[in-house]
Amino acid sequence: MTNSTIFAFAAAFIVTAVLVPLMIPYLKKLKFGQTVREEGPESHKVKTGTPTMGGVAIMAAVFVAYLAFIEKNIVSAITMTVIAGFGAVGFIDDYIKVVKKRNLGLRAWQKLSGQLLFALVLVVYQYVFTDMGGGIYIPLVEKYLNMGIFYIPFAMIVVLGIVNSVNLTDGLDGLASGVTLIFMVFFVLISFVIGSRLQSVATLVSFASAVAGGCIGFLIYNKYPAKVFMGDVGSLALGGAVSALMVLSGAMIVFPILGAVFLAETLSVVIQVVSFKTRGKRVFLMSPLHHHYEEKGWKETKVVTRFYLAAAVSGLFAVAVVFI
């Protein structure tokens, strides 16, 4: 593990741990409180008014780590642009919901347009300006599958799917930040196992470490009962970080294993919507998946710890797959 990796982690942790408690009174003063959706679990009603948009601190922490300790090159610039870009889309969405008091925030086409823009920046850079081009790393055979021009639409869909899967996971105290932390830890482990076969490993590992440090610092105040929520500014920024690491490493095919919890959350929503639209019946008591377990009577802390465990198991499985 390089010094830049350790320092990036430590810097992000310190910045977040110090910045969040300074932000909370300010967010309360501005009345930047969370509005809990009516169709959500009844137990969440008590969360109304909890300060949100705390994800700004995670973004700031990663930016400080980038400026101070991460190598300045085109890969780090693209990664930071993607994180900041998706975070900015989330910030605007939060601002409209919290400050303008429009509960739905950005319209769907507006949010999608912003996400498409930064997904395009990421994918086109990878396709046009890197040696890997339209290649995707296949771990079991240790080869790259070159998709040619079809890589662009495929990778765009993957990026949007990843970003919004992280966003959907942000529904319980400490869930998205904790699962993302576990994801980043195992990404670093995988990078050390197959480092020479992944692209731009050192830079991406430093970013993963910075995001992990930011998540730990944020979890101090976001764990149950949460003193602050990250908001879309945080969840979309984290989604941008995850997608950037997957695309720029060429390891997108590993995401369904390493990011199994994120994937399960998204699939639960898709299955629920399709089932209700086609059959008029729901498969889950409520979606995303974490709400299903709440409706079954699980305590919020039990759901979160079980999802942490699932994330760790999927991470271990991903390491085993790439190690073979």
Q: Is the peptide bond preceding residue 25 cis, with omega within 30 degrees of 0?
A: no
For 55-150, where are the alpha helices, taking DSSP H only? 55-69, 74-98, 108-129
Return all residues near 60 (Cβ < 8 A) that are at least 6 apart: 15, 16, 19
- Which letter, b or e, does each residue of 94-104 get, where b requires 16 or more Cβ atoms within 10 Å of its Cβ? bbbbbeeeeee
Q: How far apart are CA 156 and CA 17, in angstroms?
A: 34
Distance in angstroms (rounded) separating the CA atoms of residues 159 and 167:
12
Kindly report whether the peptide bond that precedes residue 51 is cis, defined as omega within 30 degrees of 0.
Answer: no
The SS3 assignment for 5 reads helix
| Residue 167 assigned as binding residue | yes
Phi, psi of 198 (to 5 degrees): -105, 155
Q: Is 51 helix (H, G, I), strand (E, B) or coil?
A: strand
d(CA 240, CA 6): 22
Query: Is residue 232 part of an annotated ligand binding site?
Result: yes
- The DSSP symbol for 33 reads B
Q: Which residues are part of a known binding site?
A: 167, 232
Q: Which residues are part of a known binding site for Mg(2+)?
A: 167, 232
